[in-house]
Amino acid sequence: MAEEKKKVKAPKLADPIASSIDVASQEMIARSHELGIETIFDRALTMKQCAIGVQGTCCKNCSMGPCRLPLPKAGIEGEDTRKGLCGATANTIAARNFIRMIAGGAAAHSDHGRCVAEVFLSAARKETEAYQIKDFDKLIEVAKYLGVATTVEVDGEELDRDLDEVALETAEVALGEWGKAEGEVLSVKKAPEARYELWKKMGVIPRNIDREIVEIMHRTHMGVDQDYKNLMKQGTRAAIADGWGGSMLATDLQDILFGTPYPVQSEANLGVMKEDHVNIVIHGHEPVLSEMIIAVAQKQEMLDYANKKGAAGIQLSGICCTANEMLQRHGVPLCGTFLQQELAIITGAVDAMVVDIQCIMQNIANVAKCFHTKLITTHPIAKMEQENVIHIEFDEHHAIEDAERIVKMAIDNYENRGSEVMIPQHKAPLVAGFAVESTEYHLGGSFRGTYYTLNDNIINGRIRGVAGVVGCNNARTKHNRDHIAICKELIKNDVIVLTTGCTAIACAMEGLLMPEAAATHAGAGLAEVCETVGIPPILHLGSCVDNSRILLAATEVVKAGGLGNDISDLPAAGSAPEWMSEKAISIGHYFVSSGVYTVFSNLPTTGAPVFNDYICKEFEELYGGMWGAEQDPIKHAHLMIAHIDKKRKELGIDKARDRVMMDFAARQAL
Ligand code: BF8
């Protein structure tokens, strides 16, 4: 009887308006409640964060723990006597946890890169017809930095080497970067010379990509490295192996295979799905999968098959970084950010969601159960336990057949849709695809494609500085709020923004990736430059592995001259306002190690104030870059702007000055 009387508590439901700034997402969160489907927004209310874990001071690296070392409410007065069972201090524990996050992030980016390198090798060996080299200029560029000969001497004459040979050797050397026995990661030399020399002096040049990740796991094992500075030295080496190694190779090899992005127009948000079309949403990270699905979905026989099944066509769209990859090379629309993956299925219009690796929430399988949606995993390292998930393993040797099977499965599923379709009618136009090469072209035109124009406008003060704003969504933060507030504040203050990942999708959904956004949102100086060269004030540079493009853009700015000798001299700053993944920590740390002041909403280091100070203050003296943390978006943007102004002052360009055309008399006076 007592049980009967016990009241069943209604589950807490997220307030749609408080959960997201995006109207389409708000509508779908409300829809999820109507249908009784739980999403991450609801779970964020019921599952509280661990107060010690967020401080970074919980050690679970051996079975005597977890040892939890919360920071006393009153802070630490005098000696910090907190210790784990083995005696590990809060600094050691926080540093171990921090660099394990770097290892996780670097592993994810770099393993993605390795997979692309393997496909590239298959293509170079002509083992697959599905993948072929698209960008030969990029192949030559990559071959050169990997030390592969691109010319051959015949009878005393220097001739171009056979491209098939160049491709094969480049693929073999590239793949070797993950595990070679000797030497150093070759792409690291793409950094400005001063940066490379600094890393050499500090002993943080990565030897190969995998080794630096493995060494983190060793050093953080019970009873190994117990000096937070030494731990961070290895964290730095692994982060460089990611940004200037695994991620950079992923980007470059993808460009060789699938083409280097050039500006394209498209649209963003859940409203890109079409009710009368077969909707296939591709979610994950490796374009190896999505490229094939794009190719197959455009085949006339597939379109005819879709028509036969009663659909007007096939609408592809993307979630997470696959979305950015498909967008920047093909103009395929963005369906949504990380936090919209469940919401996309709740439209009832997704006939198939195809996923590969990273940022895929396990709950999408539970949501898919409530609809007709086929959820298809494709990668051998990323399966799901729920029984409704279909696994079709994607392999470059039969990629077209795999893609055909997937697309056909989606088409066949179209007729199984229920009456519950509700696609929010919200989407925004965008321009994306600003790789280093296309930005150079835009800035300089066809006669002098260079970064001089950007440098000139930074020096004359029209552009105050450059910001890289990147990263995830986080269910603990109102969806997209901080991305948008920070980006708007930066461009309002004449700081041009380079963006990737989910920040890029958020900006697209807000209409900020349109050239017209310059007139409505940017300061007068930045707006003038954007209008003159025809670019948006926020440039979409691709997916998260493409943060390597931001590093290379910064390097081009250094090379163009007038703004110092190193990335740390530039009036530039980085930000990840809504970060959540380990990849974000690795990215943040390779930005910091490259000399960039990088601000996150919060850092998992606050429980160890000495270690926190080390990475947020002392690191600047060592590497010219440091971490910062600020939750309030406007203050966050102004920390970045203050740093940009500090750098302008150091460069002696803090007073706006226009280039003066001097007449003869003025020259004589000089
Ligand atoms: O790699 S920004 S939520 S999608 S981790 Fe994931 Fe974060 Fe989005 Fe792409 Ni990057």
Q: What is the band of 452 on the pLDDT scale with cuts at 50, 70, 90?
A: confident
Q: So what's the pLDDT on residue 433?
A: 95
**Helix (H) / strand (E) containing 465:** strand 465-469
Q: How far apart are CA 540 and CA 266, in angstroms?
A: 12
Cis peptide before 66 (omega within 30 of 0): yes
In this structure, of 187-191, 255-259, 657-661, the range with the lowest mean pLDDT score is 657-661
CA angle 164/169/174 to nearest 5° reads 125
CB-based contacts of 259, cutoff 8 Å, min separation 6: 134, 135, 329
Ligand 1: lining residues by beta carbon, under 6 Å:
285, 320-321, 338, 359, 471-472, 501-502, 543-544, 581, 583
pTM of the model: 0.95
Distance 586 CA to ligand 1 centre (A): 12
Q: So what's the pLDDT on residue 124?
A: 97
For residue 448, pLDDT over 60 is answered with no
Contact 376, 406 (CB under 8 A): yes
Among protein residues, the one with the nearest Cα to ligand 1's atom 3 is 472
SS (H, E, C) 541-567: CCCCCCHHHHHHHHHHHHHHCCCCCCH
Rounded percentage of the chain residues whose pLDDT exceeds 70: 96
For residue 657, pLDDT over 60 is answered with no
- Classify residue 554 as exposed, middle or buried by CB count within 10 Å of its CB (0-12, 13-18, 19+): buried
For residue 22, pLDDT over 70 is answered with yes
For residue 391, pLDDT over 70 is answered with yes
**Helix (H) / strand (E) containing 237:** helix 228-241
CB-based contacts of 207, cutoff 8 Å, min separation 6: 182, 183, 184, 185
More confident residue, 656 or 316: 316
Residue type, 471: G
Number of H helices, E strands in the chain: 29, 18
**Helix (H) / strand (E) containing 120:** helix 90-124
Contact 291, 254 (CB under 8 A): no
φ and ψ at residue 180, rounded to 5 degrees: -65, 155
For residue 166, pLDDT over 70 is answered with yes
Q: How confident is the model over 179-201, as a mean pLDDT?
A: 98
Pocket test for ligand 1, best of 356, 472, 503, 550 (most atoms within 8 A of CB): 472
Contact 244, 590 (CB under 8 A): yes
How many Å is the Cα radius of gyration of the chain?
25
Q: Can you tell me which atom of ligand 1 is nearest the CA of 581?
A: 5
Distance 388 CA to ligand 1 centre (A): 25
Q: So what's the pLDDT on residue 180?
A: 97
Which two tokens mark 487? 């980006």
Question: For residue range 104-126, what is the model confidence (pLDDT) as tens digits?
Answer: 999 999 999 999 999 999 999 99
Q: So what's the pLDDT on residue 1?
A: 46
Q: Can you tell me which atom of ligand 1 is nearest the CA of 584?
A: 5
Q: What is the band of 445 on the pLDDT scale with cuts at 50, 70, 90?
A: low
Distance 324 CA to ligand 1 centre (A): 10
Which residues sit opposite 539 in a β-bridge?
Answer: 498
Q: Can you tell me which atom of ligand 1 is nearest the CA of 471?
A: 2
Q: So what's the pLDDT on residue 310?
A: 96
Q: How confident is the model over 35-49, as a mean pLDDT?
A: 96
Residue 271 Ramachandran class (φ > 0 left, ψ -120 to 50 alpha, else beta): alpha
Question: For residue range 562-611, what is the model confidence (pLDDT) as tens digits?
Answer: 999 999 999 999 999 999 999 999 999 999 999 999 999 999 999 999 99
For residue 463, pLDDT over 60 is answered with yes
For residue 658, pLDDT over 60 is answered with no
CB-based contacts of 650, cutoff 8 Å, min separation 6: 569
Mean pLDDT, the chain, integer: 95
